[in-house]
Amino acid sequence: MILPAPLQDLINAFERLPGIGPKSASRLAFYLLRAQDNLGQDLADALDGFKDKLAFCSECFNITTAGRELCEICDDSRRDASIICVVEDALDVLSLERTAGYQGRYHVLHGALSPIEGIGPDDLKIRPLFDRVARGDVREVILATNPSMEGDATALYLSQRLVGENLRVTRLARGLPVGGDLEYADQNTLLRALSGRQDMN
């Protein structure tokens, strides 16, 4: 059966999303077709030109509303400007904010160093980070890149470049995930958990 074009177009578009295969794409399209509420149209409206309505913060390169110079966080004077948490992606800012355990500012690199993929320091927002540090009001940089090969390489690169500046450079602790099971932890994680063991008193 050749599906009606509007339906096939929709299925094709859904299929291009990450983690959505042909069957899920069909299911989503037919769900929207059956849905009593206006979800399909709401989604269309939310998607329509949404990229143009967004911009990057000129300070930390987090996402902000188009037309605004700074993001929500850089614009908030209650946030501690002397601590910068460096992340690969704006989505990581969201994750860290959900913990409600951090009151400093951020810096979004928009990627990680990857010689294999040809991504060097100039492809990331690394220069603006150094500029922020050079202004002198920063006393700690937390490197919160992903615990992957690229993330570690990026953290190493940054820490080497930041040595000599009058500041503390830290990175997120490695160890067992909370709620996890020791027997399921991989060797590297266990090794990091061992070497990074902390005094209990």
Nearest-angstrom CA–CA distance, 88 and 152: 11
Which of residues 151 and 162 has its CB atom nearest to its own copies in the complex?
151
Q: DSSP letters of 131-166?
A: HHHHTS---EEEE---SSHHHHHHHHHHHHHHBTBS
Least distance between its own copies and beta carbon 133 (Å): 23
Residue with tokens 């859904």: 14
Least distance between its own copies and beta carbon 165 (Å): 27
Least distance between its own copies and beta carbon 21 (Å): 11
Which of residues 50 and 115 has its CB atom nearest to its own copies in the complex?
50
Residue with tokens 């990581």: 92
Nearest-angstrom CA–CA distance, 169 and 84: 10
Which of residues 27 and 161 has its CB atom nearest to its own copies in the complex?
27
| Positions in the binding site for its own copies (CB under 8 A) | 1-7, 9-10, 12-14, 16-19, 23-24, 26-28, 30-33, 37, 39-51, 53-54, 63-65, 72-73, 89-91, 93-94, 97, 183-184
